Amino acid sequence: MTPLLTTKGLSRHFGGLRAVDGVDFALIPGEIRAIIGPNGAGKTTFVSLLSGRIRPSSGMIVFDGADITTMPAYKRVRLGVAYTFQITSVFANLTAFDNVALPVQRTLTDSRSKGAVRTGVMAALERTGLADRAGTLAGQLSYGHQRLLEVAMGLALKPRLLILDEPTQGLADSEIDNFVTLVREIARNATVLLIEHNMPVVMQLADRITVFNSGKILAEGTPEQIRANPEVQDAYLGATHG
């Protein structure tokens, strides 16, 4: 199958630090891919390169057959690459409704009616279970709800690739269960790439796992293969699964 996204020799150096170092990576349409790895392995830098928030030092990124290596972030979003932030960055002083209206109104290029925005916003809020909090200021939502709002904003962009950076961080166990269900549902219409530290979540959700270490891909495979990989156990899983 033609990959949705590929990188070739993708690198990003910060001074002498090779945060991402010659990564060749491919993402199959429709899959849920998890990226795991110890702190400082370059996971966030890698997805930031994909989303266009930072520019690569060298290498190439291809999305859906088009070279997007030098494309500015906002254009990548329009192509369908959506990114949700590791540190929650909803618009705290705007209502949940307005937060989601921003991505919704941008995707509605042909329709000018106010009703279309409202419908789109409420649909995204309902999918994430936030419909009854539409009028609440985002900053007054609980942390878990802010994370869900972040996902709702990502969803409203109608992405073809949704990048989630540590989405379950700070969520309660009960919230995590809902979250797993939500990501599965999203994956029916989109490819999902998530960075995640919570191993049970990764093992439940991911079709395949990519393990990063020191800016390079250490291993890649199904959850079973990764679990059985001795190198991965050494680098990362050792403490919890060894």
Partner 1 sequence: MRNDSPAKIYALHIGVLALLFALNFVLPDYHQGLFARIMALAVFAMGYNLLFGYVGLLSLGHAMFYSAGLYGAGLAVYHLGWGVPEAFVAGIACGAVLALVIGLLALRTSGVAFMIVTMMFAQVFYLLILYFAAWTGGDQGLVVQQASRMITIGGASLDLTNSTVRYMSALALFSVVLLATLAIVRSRFGRVLVAIRENEERTKMLGYHTVANKLAAVVASGAICAASGAAYALLFGYIGSSFASVQYSILPLLWVLLGGAATTLGPLIGTLFMYYVTDITSGFTSAYLLIVGVALILLVLFAPKGVLGSIRQRWLGWLP
Binding residues for partner 1 (CB under 8 A): 51, 53, 73-75, 77-78, 82-83, 85, 89-95, 97-98, 101-103, 105-106, 117-118, 135, 153, 157
Which CB sits closer to partner 1, 75 or 184? Answer: 75
* Cα 12 to chain centroid, rounded: 19
Q: Minimum Å distance from CB 116 to partner 1?
A: 11
Which CB sits closer to partner 1, 155 or 219? Answer: 155
- d(Cα 28, Cα 211) in Å, to the nearest integer? 17
Q: Minimum Å distance from CB 234 to partner 1?
A: 35
Q: Minimum Å distance from CB 48 to partner 1?
A: 10
Quick one: tokens of 136?
């609440």
Q: Minimum Å distance from CB 66 to partner 1?
A: 16
Which CB sits closer to partner 1, 85 or 236? Answer: 85
Which CB sits closer to partner 1, 154 or 215? Answer: 154
Please give the span between the terminal C-alpha atoms of the chain, in angstroms, as a whole number: 35
Q: Minimum Å distance from CB 76 to partner 1?
A: 8
Q: Minimum Å distance from CB 204 to partner 1?
A: 27
Which CB sits closer to partner 1, 31 or 98? Answer: 98
User: Please, which residues bridge with residue 95 across strands?
Assistant: 137
- d(Cα 209, Cα 73) in Å, to the nearest integer? 25
Q: Minimum Å distance from CB 199 to partner 1?
A: 28
Contact 157, 150 (CB under 8 A): no
- d(Cα 193, Cα 74) in Å, to the nearest integer? 19
* Cα 164 to chain centroid, rounded: 2
Closest CA to 95 of 141, 37, 163, 156: 141
Which CB sits closer to partner 1, 93 or 189? Answer: 93
Which CB sits closer to partner 1, 119 or 178? Answer: 119
SS3 percent helix, strand, coil of the chain, rounded to 5, is 40, 25, 35
Torsion angle, alpha carbons of 5, 44, 41, 11, to 10: 50
Contact 162, 170 (CB under 8 A): no
